[in-house]
Copies of this chain bind each other. A is one copy, B any other.
Amino acid sequence: MLFSWQQRASIHGSDCDLSCFCQMASSNIRYGEGVSREIGMDLQNLGARNVCLMTDRNLSHLPPVKAVLESLSKNGVKYKVYDNVRVEPTDTSFKEAISFAKKDSFDVFVAVGGGSVIDTCKAANLYACHPDADFLDFVNAPIGKGKPVTGALKPLIAVPTTAGTGSETTGVAIFDYEPLKAKTGIASRAIRPTLGIVDPTHTLSMPERVTANSGFDVLCHALESYTALPYNQRSPCPPNPINRPAYQGSNPISDVWSRHALNVVAKYMKRAVRDPEDLEARSSMHLASVFAGIGFGNAGVHLCHGMSYPIAGNVKTHSAMGYNVDHPLVPHGLSVVLTSPAVFNFTAPMCPERHLDAAEILGADIRQVKRADAGAVLADTLRQFLFELQVEDGLRAVGYNDDDIPALVKGTIPQERVTKLSPREHTEEDLTELFAASMKLY
């Protein structure tokens, strides 16, 4: 049975009185072409004496890392480089980075890379500043203990080189927990970067499929946060503000970011994917990634992200085009977007206006559409969008079949931190149907 948002509000009723508010927080963001070349001055201003710079092997030879290292040298800032970050990090790869960070007494952390690098660097900073903590202490429940972070961390400057993650704006770090083959993460405002340096020239290094997949992450951040359960209907609602989750439901502040990011995706994403030299389009997508990051970093994501974690975590042999890695991989943005037509078809009845609004922004003509058809219209719009961007034809095309669905459902259950922000409550049967409907898209 479906409840509208208004009905849900009255059901949750007194739970929510006075204890669900929305709070906007984001890293400081600096944006401009060439802006990463001044990071050495920022580090000097911070009084940095020993900087830990994290990146990955591919990036370590590319212009973004080169620009940052030149700026450090020019400003006489001492640093050590850790370039062993794993694309789609795991608990093992997190622990290696943490061990590197613990061995030295770093006073500032710098992450140059995509979400994998920035997330790894957040974890390294967190555990280097809490040397006695067990790794699972700060990991989200139910996999970890979800303890609140109380100690102070070192400043972290994030320099994103993909236009997708939004990790430079958020207090979230995601990894594969190998023992359970499930993605989980750490979520705390304490690990949010101090400053995000958004230099659009960096995205010119991105291969076409990386541009596409990271763009899909932006698309889903925007769509999921815009349709997430409203902030005043979330439960439980801890009365003390310090105990509230980072993901607090859609709200009037996150809505501004989510809708704006969606507009930019609609206008620029196809150009950014097709032409690596289109600086206007790639710059716009880079900023859209920041905007969507601030949106979802406060509102949260829901089913596409919750279901994406087992899709990425259970990967068998799929080899991702455009990614120079030595392991099978369903890139994060791809794992998120493949279920999006099914998911938004499912969630639409709870807030059809928002689903129609999103479909219209993405180019659908909704003038004659009934509210009851909002889900189908948004799903069709998304399928068309994905088809034009030559996305793999559903979960089957990345190596899954119907026999895998129980494992995928099982891997989604622990993702309650995000899935509970779905505007529509769901059962295991619902998840089964959503995975089944995502096997083939076109």
Chain A residues in the interface with B (C-beta under 8 A):
18-26, 28-32, 34-35, 37-38, 41-42, 45, 231-232, 239-242, 251-253, 256-257, 260, 287, 290-291
- Across the interface, which residues of B come within 8 angstroms of A35, CB to CB? 21
**CB pair B21 A32 closer than 8 Å:** yes
Determine if B22 and A31 form an interchain contact, defined as CB atoms under 8 angstroms apart. Answer: yes
- Residues of B close to A291: CB separation below 8 A: 256
Which chain B residues lie closer than 8 Å to A20 at the CB level?
32
Bound together, the chains give a CA A25 to CA B173 distance in angstroms of: 22
- Is A34 in contact with B22, judged by CB distance below 8 angstroms? no
Q: List 24 A-B contacts (CB under 8 A).
A: A18-B37, A19-B38, A21-B30, A21-B31, A21-B32, A21-B35, A22-B30, A22-B31, A23-B28, A23-B29, A23-B30, A24-B26, A24-B28, A26-B26, A30-B241, A31-B252, A32-B231, A32-B232, A41-B240, A41-B241, A42-B242, A45-B241, A252-B287, A256-B260
**Residues of the B chain whose Cβ atoms lie less than 8 Å from the Cβ of A231:** 32
The residue in chain B whose Cβ has the minimal distance to the Cβ of A240 is: B41
Select which of B22, B37, B239, B256 is within 8 A of A256 by beta carbon.
B256
Are B256's CB and A29's CB within 8 A? no
CA distance A17 to B21 in the complex (A): 42
- Which residues of chain B have C-beta atoms less than 8 A from A290's C-beta? 253
Given contacts A19-B38, A260-B260, 13 further A-B contacts (CB under 8 A): A22-B31, A23-B30, A23-B31, A24-B26, A26-B26, A29-B253, A30-B241, A31-B253, A32-B232, A41-B239, A41-B241, A42-B242, A45-B242
User: Would you give the shortest CB distance from A28 to chain B, in whole angstroms?
Assistant: 5
Q: Chain B residues with Cβ under 8 A from A240's Cβ?
A: 38, 41, 45
Q: Which residues of B contact A19 (CB under 8 A)?
A: 38
CA distance A29 to B231 in the complex (A): 14
CA distance A405 to B147 in the complex (A): 63
Complex Cα spacing A254 to B240, Å? 32
Closest to A283 in B: B252
A252 proximity list for chain B (CB < 8 A):
31, 287
Contacting residues, chain B, for A18 (C-beta < 8 A):
34, 37-38
Which chain B positions have C-beta within 8 A of A256? Answer: 256-257, 260, 291
State in angstroms the CA–CA spacing of A45 and B20 once bound together.
18
Shortest distance between the CB of A296 and any CB in chain B (Å): 16
A38 to B35, CA, bound (A): 40
Complex Cα gap A34–B25 (Å): 20
Chain B residues with Cβ below 8 Å from A38 are 18-19, 21, 239-241
Cβ–Cβ contact A31 & B251, under 8 A: yes
Enumerate chain B residues within 8 angstroms of A31, measured Cβ to Cβ: 21-24, 251-253
- Kindly state the separation between the CA atoms of A260 and B35 in the bound complex, as whole angstroms: 27
- Residues of B within 8 Å of A37, CB to CB, are 18
Q: In this complex, what residue of B is CB-closest to A38?
A: B241
Shortest CB–CB separation between residue A241 and chain B, in angstroms? 6
Query: What's the least CB distance linking A152 to chain B, in Å?
Result: 13
Closest 10 CB pairs of A and B: A21-B32, A23-B30, A24-B29, A25-B28, A45-B242, A21-B35, A41-B240, A256-B260, A18-B34, A21-B30
A39: nearest chain-B partner, CB-CB: B241
> Which residues in B have their C-beta under 8 angstroms from that of A29?
23-24, 253
Q: Could you tell me the distance in whole angstroms from the C-beta of A37 to the nearest C-beta in chain B?
A: 6
Cα distance A240–B45 when bound, in Å?
Answer: 9
* A92 vs chain B, min Cβ distance (A): 35
Query: In the bound complex, how far is the Cα of B248 from the Cα of A35, in angstroms?
Result: 15
* CB closest chain-B residue, reference A252: B287
Closest residue of B by beta carbon distance from A242 = B45
Q: Which residue of B lies closest to A32 (CB)?
A: B21
Report the Cα distance A232→B34, complex, angstroms: 12
Q: How far is the CA of A241 from the CA of B38 in the complex (A)?
A: 8
Please, which residues of chain B bring their CB within 8 A of the CB of A232?
Answer: 32
